Amino acid sequence: MLQLYEWQKDLDNQTSDEGHLQLLLFVDKRPGYRKKIQRVQAYLDDLKLEQDFQLEVIEIDKQPHLVEYFKLVATPALVKISPQPRQVLAGSNLIEQLEIWWPRWKNSLQNKSVADSQELEQLDSSPAGATPKIASYSDRLLKLSDKAFHLQQEKEELLEQLRFKEQILAMLVHDLRSPLTAASLAMETLELSENHENNEQKKQLRNKLYLQSRQQVNIMKRMISDLLEASTSANAKLKVFPCKLNVYSLCQDVISQVKKQLNAKSQIFNEDIPQDIPQIHADEELVRQLLINLLENAVKYTPEGGEISLSVLHRTSQKVQFRVSDTGPGIPAEKQERIFEDHFRLKRDQEQEGYGLGLAFCRKIVRAHYGQIWVNSSPGDGSCFNFTLPVYR
């Protein structure tokens, strides 16, 4: 940026010479324009006999970036670079416009102070080629501007990557506690069961607990892998490993994981998950985490004795819609978009533990599957979170 500033200052120094008229003539090679351009150039040659000026002819097909830089809308076009202010004459009646403006330009030059005249004499006495061409400086300035623009883009991308890395690290560290606690409880129950008679009922219990422990350990392994990936990857993008996924089985598994939390608050749970719902094409662990996040939020914000429901609908041939509803306090209409932003928390949550990453991560998961997520809610009437995932085809 400093280099760009220096070049622009240099250009300003060259184009702010109030004692010398500097013009750029933009021309094109369209059929029928040659004679028109010749007439304009001949007219400018006649004017040069009255008042000397610097003229540079620019073909727009060779330097289109300059056309954009000067915001030209028609050709031929004559741009007065100096003296300031800059002025653009353009169109088929360019000579008629020059007839009006030339006397004003000429008078403005002749009315300059002695100091300006001396500066003009110094410029005229400079060796040939000592003054760089205006178009050349404009060209270099635009190239530097383009580089600065790309550097700014790269900077924003890097900052976004760093923000994502920070968010995913905080989220994973926070969410590791849930499967760790579940696995620990399963292990403790297994240990206690060893002290009782080894009958068929105990054997079934152990098998169930073993299965639950393996599932929770697998979840933790996935989270730890994501944690390591986020800490080492330059891009830090959410990785998705989609597969053919049975919605009913997955939902039943998730419900069993949050059942204990529901019972702890004596909450009523309703489910509407058809067994013949189409299979989806999605990452199993990410969708599991998505559902757990939404259900745990529902449990958290629904008072004791309240109701929570999970339903799945086959809306179209391409999408399956999931719906998690609660009878909690609801969300103000003006905040319903912002709750999916990173680190955004409602005022009621400021004193509670958390990072404000849960719903933001849910949106990342849904978007990674080319789905949509939204909430329907009003204060005092609970909330209904909806998201869609693609049908396996």
Is the backbone peptide bond immediately before 83 cis, with ω within 30 degrees of 0? Answer: yes
Is 134 or 160 the better-scoring residue by pLDDT? 160
Residue 377 DSSP code: E
Per-residue pLDDT of 356-378, as tens digits, reads 457 888 898 999 999 999 999 98
pLDDT for the residue 121: 54
Which of 173-187, 243-257, 271-285 is the least confident region?
173-187
**Mean pLDDT of all residues belonging to the chain:** 77
Q: The tokens of 113 are what?
A: 């102070």
Cα torsion angle, 297, 302, 308, 313, sign: negative
- 364 shares a domain with 259: yes
**34: pLDDT strictly greater than 60:** yes
Domain that holds residue 211: 176-232
Domain count, the chain: 3
Residue 267 domain-assigned (yes or no): yes
CA–CA gap between residue 240 and residue 227 (Å, rounded): 14
| pLDDT more than 90, % of the chain | 23
Asked whether the beta carbons of 10 and 138 are under 8 A apart, the reply is no
Residue 220 domain-assigned (yes or no): yes
Choosing from 126, 147, 168, the residue where a domain stops is: 147
Our CA dihedral for 280, 284, 288, 290, rounded to 10 degrees, sits at: -70
Residue 152 domain-assigned (yes or no): no
Is 322 or 351 the better-scoring residue by pLDDT? 322
- 205 shares a domain with 303: no
Per-residue pLDDT of 76-132, as tens digits, reads 889 988 888 888 898 888 888 888 888 888 887 777 544 455 554 554 554 544 444
3-state secondary structure of 23: strand
pLDDT for the residue 136: 62
pTM above 0.75, yes or no: no
Separation in Å, CA 53 to CA 40, 105, 106: 15, 11, 10
Using alpha carbons, select from 230, 209, 202 the residue that is nearest to residue 364.
230
Q: The tokens of 265 are what?
A: 């608050």
Res. 355 pLDDT band, cuts 50 70 90? very low
Residue 356 domain-assigned (yes or no): yes
- 350 shares a domain with 222: no
* DSSP secondary structure of 319-331: EEEEEEEE-S---
- 355 shares a domain with 262: yes
CA–CA gap between residue 356 and residue 88 (Å, rounded): 54
Q: The tokens of 339 are what?
A: 């709750």
- 315 shares a domain with 267: yes
Contacts of residue 77, defined as CB under 8 A and 6 or more positions apart, other chains included, come to 25, 26, 70, 88, 89, 90, 91, 94
Residue 31 DSSP code: T
- 274 shares a domain with 182: no
**58: pLDDT strictly greater than 80:** yes
Residue 165 domain-assigned (yes or no): no
Task: Give the residue-averaged pLDDT of 197-218.
Answer: 71
Is 156 or 170 the better-scoring residue by pLDDT? 156
pLDDT for the residue 107: 82
- 359 shares a domain with 259: yes
Choosing from 187, 210, 232, the residue where a domain stops is: 232
Residue 162 domain-assigned (yes or no): no
pLDDT for the residue 324: 96
